Structure 1
Amino acid sequence: MKYYSTRDTALRMESAEAVKMGLSRDGGLLTPVAIPQIDEAFITGLVQENYQVRAAKVMGLYLTDYSYDELLGFANNAYGTDKYDTTAVAPMRKVDDNTHCLELWHGPTSAFKDMALQMLPQLLSAALKKTGETKTACILVATSGDTGKAAMEGFANVPQTKIMVFYPQDGVSAVQEKQMVTQEGDNVGVCAVVGNFDDAQSGVKRIFSDETIREELAGKGYFLSSANSINWGRILPQVVYYISAYCDLLKTGDIAMGDKVNFCVPTGNFGDILAAYYAKRMGLPVGKLICASNKNDVLTEFLNTGVYNRNRPFHTTSSPSMDILISSNLERLLFDLSGEDDALIRTYMTALATEGKYTVSDGILASLKDQYWGGYCDEDGTFTTIADYYKNRGYLIDTHTAVAVNVMEQYRKATNDETITVFVSTASPYKFGDNVLSALGETPETDSMALIDQMYALTGVAVPARLAALRGKERRFDLSVEKAEMDNVVHNFLQ
């Protein structure tokens, strides 16, 4: 399988090179030249398999320069019981006859990012060998909260890698920050950025596209790569859990083969819901993809009007991993819907960079409306939904999951669609304990560990072991900089 850039289809490379590079040097996102197709026989063959086998077989369709045995070994390492608190890895929870929840937070950092970031370091390490790379990979990460910890957890002490994480100062939860600034590992670094996630993300992209910086780092024996969802090695493992969810519904008899299923995904950078789109493009029977946004509703407006406009107020919300106005992975979707028109994508992305907005063609807008439904949930709706699900269903959910639930119900009321719907739960409620407790009518503690204790005392819901282990951990990182100083941080980190 070859890969090319969304901004230059003449550029071709093998999957190992795409994983190693992370982001195309022209600023585009590396994408497979074709979408492999699956049929009922392929899906049926996965139903009785465990998650690790499902992952190896699905990823093998795209990573043709990796062997099945390699991928199965990686999957066993990534999703074993030493990392995940359930053998199901990504368990399905039945809420009612038409509603299921895909829980993606049972890994080491209690967030869905583990599903990809326990796999990516292994894919990258193998890619370095396959491509004969002698330099050390410097992984740059911009995080809105969860990616940073999950990436560091995955890459900590991995040979031939170093990882630097940038997060928005005052833009993550207390538990998320505690997880990052106490991270162990000789090859990790963490830095707060004054501003929001978009500031951190644009700073990382600027460094990637700066040829002078790349040449200077090469002289020191480093090359840049990414663990953000701009890296195809992040998107592909996420495709797996949508196919796995469908297999689990077949296994429990909740659906019959060929029945369509809707997925509702809390969305920020568009990677998670893009993975669902790729699963659908592969032939998985998917109905509507419901894109759930918080008060930063740029995607809702885009899916309804075809106008992407980041020129709007940025809101800091109780679902910080979705506090994003520039959804990078949308570029991959537009590339696919445009018929791989790289010139058109360059036009859109140039307009976004220079004017802060672009308008897609009528044809693309029609395709968007056919595939997607967009809605958003404000803070009151988020808190009300958390309280409702806990008090009336006995199900404790975090703020991001609550946004998905709320928008899912909006969709159902607007369309009367009774298709079985799976909403995606992206984080343990313990990661956002202050807001979850507030939603339940409590006055939250201010210390991260006190919050965890308070929630357990109130709900009795088991505390994820890795979060409990944060108690007593010393802070290792205190650096905070302006966006313009991020390149200096990288240079100093690689001294």
Structure 2
Amino acid sequence: MGLMYSSTRNGDKKFTASQAILKGLADDGGLFVPESIPALDVTIDELAKMSYQETAYAVMKQFLTDFTEEELKNCINKAYDSKFDTEEIAPLVQADGAYYLELFHGPTIAFKDMALSILPHLLITSARKNNVKNDIVILTATSGDTGKAALAGFADVEGTKIIVFYPKHGVSPIQEKQMVTQKGANTFVVGINGNFDQAQTGVKQMFNDKAMAEEMDKEGYQFSSANSINIGRLVPQIVYYVYAYSRLYANGAIAKDEKINVVVPTGNFGNILAAFYAKNMGLPIGKLICASNENKVLYDFFSTGTYDKNREFMLTSSPSMDILISSNLERLIYRIAGNDAKKNAEFMKDLTTSGKYEITDEMRTQLADFYGNYTSEEETASVIKKLFEDTGYIIDTHTAVAAGVYEKYKKDTNDVDTKTVIASTASPFKFTRSVMDAIDHKYDSMTDFELVDELSKLGNVKVPQAIEEIRSAEVLYDTVCDVDEMPDVVRRFLKK
């Protein structure tokens, strides 16, 4: 029997990897987790010689044990191909004493491409393996980047439909334009009058609505998720941390078994959780540095042991992190609770009823690998400006949050010698106005696309194809709804 999965809220039922990927979210509202985190079975010397695609197979085969070698390699090769604008897929760039892991070379210029390029193939393969006859309806809430990456991944994929909900006034103009111009007969994009947390809660409620599931089944549909709550999103994210370490070793930047730190700008907690899983597979990671923006719910959690979403929701220049309910944190809570589904379910019930929960002192001791901090809007802008002036390297606002928190980590711990990888989660071209405004206020009067061209000149970087293609693209979606109207919007789209 291969590696099995169960819900973070009920450990009794077991699922194969393909069944967990298909369902997305467990019936009890929990998230699927592997019964144990498998160890890497290749040496660092072997990894150092591998391409990104070969590394992906070495990592993912350990988690997706009911996929054959042919099935998994087929998914990997379809995902990581010429749609990425660099052969390396995820290159490392050294700047100002850190290594920036550029995760934005895919079709939508954000790190979500790293997992969402492969998820449609994993999902369709899973459907075939489990003899699913229904069409798969992907329901997704996005704080900006998941939406476009999921739309691009699933557009015109046979046997699927995809509906993306985003906060109408909570994403950047470029992010919105990327979504509302998406082509594909099976795609649908909806702005909601609300924030990301409300969109995400609305999607989760539809997943947990048994009557709606029966109704969909009669129509020949079943829901699945492309959010980072899907284990099929999380597993591919582990790969790039393993790959980054192998590149540092191959290039002579680190010695064998030398520990590195990883800094991740964090919203829904999936990206940093993937680094945590990589560490538990045996990758020599020292500190996992969790970087928050002014929505610093995670910083407060790591500081106090209390997770409390009862606070003002801040709209910032790093909108993909404007989140107060970090869904993937549940997987970590389950683990530090001793894989106790009942205990975890109680915490999650507290979160639903009172908006907060407090972990035990014993659980807190298991968070020693993590360091949390945050940057203000002012600090984020000054990081972009200083890095550009010192090195000529331009980063986006989310990456700047990570770089700013890394500076705070060094001051707090005096750990200045450990080689550190900063997850660079989006291209600066995705957030041109915030980035250019940080560099110099003289650009204020320019249009969004004038800023794109100016950024290209300033950074001596070619404008990504993802931006070029939306300059004159036609807006195809203008639906806006209230949160309570989301289920009806889904029904109307599926009956078209």
Whether the TM-score (by the shorter chain) exceeds 0.5 is yes
Cα shift at 1:5: 0.2
Cα shift at 1:297: 0.3
Paired residues for 1:119-268 under 5 Å: 119-268=118-267
Percentage identity across aligned positions?
Answer: 49
2-side partners of 1:146 and 1:349: how far apart?
26
Q: Which residue of 1 aligns with 2:389?
A: 391
Q: Which residue of 2 aligns with 1:92?
A: 92
Deviations 1:416-458 (A, max 9, x none): 0121111110000000001001101133456443331232244
Q: Which residue of 1 aligns with 2:21?
A: 19
Cα shift at 1:94: 1.5
Tell me, yes or no, if the aligned pair for 1:141 and 1:164 is still in contact at 8 Å.
yes
Q: Which residue of 1 aligns with 2:31?
A: 29
Which of 404, 409, 412 does residue 406 from structure 1 map onto? 404
Paired residues for 1:469-480 under 5 Å: 469-480=469-480
Q: Which residue of 2 aligns with 1:466?
A: 466
Q: Which residue of 2 aligns with 1:73?
A: 74
CA distance change for structure 1 residues 377 and 329 in 2, over 3 Å: closer, same or farther?
same
Q: Which residue of 1 aligns with 2:353?
A: 354
Cα shift at 1:228: 0.1
Letter of the 2:231 counterpart? W
CA distance change for structure 1 residues 445 and 455 in 2, over 3 Å: closer, same or farther?
farther
Cα shift at 1:106: 0.4
Paired residues for 1:286-305 under 5 Å: 286-305=285-304
Paired residues for 1:357-376 under 5 Å: 357-368=356-367, 370-376=368-374
2-side partners of 1:330 and 1:133: how far apart?
30
Deviations 1:147-176 (A, max 9, x none): 000000000011110000000011000100
Cα shift at 1:371: 1.1
Tell me, yes or no, if the aligned pair for 2:40 and 2:58 is still in contact at 8 Å.
no
Q: Which residue of 2 aligns with 1:62?
A: 63
Q: Which residue of 2 aligns with 1:382?
A: 380
2-side partners of 1:87 and 1:144: how far apart?
28
Tell me, yes or no, if the aligned pair for 2:40 and 2:62 is still in contact at 8 Å.
no
The farther-off stretch of 333-342 and 21-30 is 333-342
Tell me, yes or no, if the aligned pair for 1:351 and 1:357 is still in contact at 8 Å.
yes
Q: Which residue of 2 aligns with 1:44?
A: 45
Q: Which residue of 1 aligns with 2:449?
A: 449
Cα shift at 1:469: 1.4
Counting matched residue pairs gives 491
1-side partners of 2:431 and 2:423: how far apart?
16
2-side partners of 1:45 and 1:371: how far apart?
27
Tell me, yes or no, if the aligned pair for 1:386 and 1:402 is still in contact at 8 Å.
yes
Deviations 1:336-362 (A, max 9, x none): 111110111111000000100000011
Tell me, yes or no, if the aligned pair for 2:103 and 2:424 is still in contact at 8 Å.
yes
CA distance change for structure 1 residues 172 and 445 in 2, over 3 Å: closer, same or farther?
farther
Tell me, yes or no, if the aligned pair for 1:94 and 1:100 is still in contact at 8 Å.
yes
2-side partners of 1:406 and 1:131: how far apart?
46
Deviations 1:63-93 (A, max 9, x none): 111122222222221111x211111101111
Tell me, yes or no, if the aligned pair for 1:178 and 1:448 is still in contact at 8 Å.
no
Letter of the 2:20 counterpart? A
2-side partners of 1:277 and 1:440: how far apart?
33
Letter of the 2:407 counterpart? E
Letter of the 1:382 counterpart? T
2-side partners of 1:485 and 1:100: how far apart?
45
2-side partners of 1:453 and 1:215: how far apart?
50
Q: Which secondary structure does the structure 2 equivalent of 1:93 belong to?
A: strand
Deviations 1:118-143 (A, max 9, x none): 01000001000000000011000000
Letter of the 1:45 counterpart? E
Letter of the 1:26 counterpart? D
2-side partners of 1:118 and 1:63: how far apart?
17
Cα shift at 1:202: 0.5
Letter of the 1:461 counterpart? V
Residue 481 of structure 1 pairs with residue 477 of structure 2 = no
Cα shift at 1:44: 2.3
2-side partners of 1:86 and 1:76: how far apart?
15
Deviations 1:358-394 (A, max 9, x none): 00011111111x1100000010000000000111111
Letter of the 1:408 counterpart? Y
2-side partners of 1:443 and 1:311: how far apart?
37
Deviations 1:27-64 (A, max 9, x none): 0001111110126x433222111000110121000111
The farther-off stretch of 451-460 and 30-39 is 451-460
Q: Which secondary structure does the structure 1 equivalent of 2:366 belong to?
A: helix
Tell me, yes or no, if the aligned pair for 2:263 and 2:423 is still in contact at 8 Å.
yes
The farther-off stretch of 436-445 and 125-134 is 436-445
Deviations 1:171-226 (A, max 9, x none): 00010000000001000000001111001000001111111111111111100000
1-side partners of 2:216 and 2:465: how far apart?
38
Tell me, yes or no, if the aligned pair for 2:374 and 2:401 is still in contact at 8 Å.
yes
2-side partners of 1:460 and 1:101: how far apart?
18
1-side partners of 2:198 and 2:466: how far apart?
29
Paired residues for 1:416-435 under 5 Å: 416-417=414-415, 418-435=417-434
2-side partners of 1:363 and 1:490: how far apart?
44
Letter of the 2:452 counterpart? I
Tell me, yes or no, if the aligned pair for 2:443 and 2:451 is still in contact at 8 Å.
no
2-side partners of 1:438 and 1:448: how far apart?
12
1-side partners of 2:145 and 2:365: how far apart?
33
1-side partners of 2:136 and 2:392: how far apart?
45
Tell me, yes or no, if the aligned pair for 2:168 and 2:191 is still in contact at 8 Å.
yes
1-side partners of 2:457 and 2:89: how far apart?
27
Moved over 6 A (4+): none
Letter of the 1:91 counterpart? P
Letter of the 1:64 counterpart? T
Letter of the 1:317 counterpart? T
Deviations 1:276-304 (A, max 9, x none): 00000111111000000000000000011
Which sections of structure 1, spanning at least 5 residues, go unmatched? none
Tell me, yes or no, if the aligned pair for 1:57 and 1:68 is still in contact at 8 Å.
no
Tell me, yes or no, if the aligned pair for 2:392 and 2:459 is still in contact at 8 Å.
no
Q: Which residue of 1 aligns with 2:271?
A: 272
Paired residues for 1:302-341 under 5 Å: 302-341=301-340
Letter of the 1:69 counterpart? E
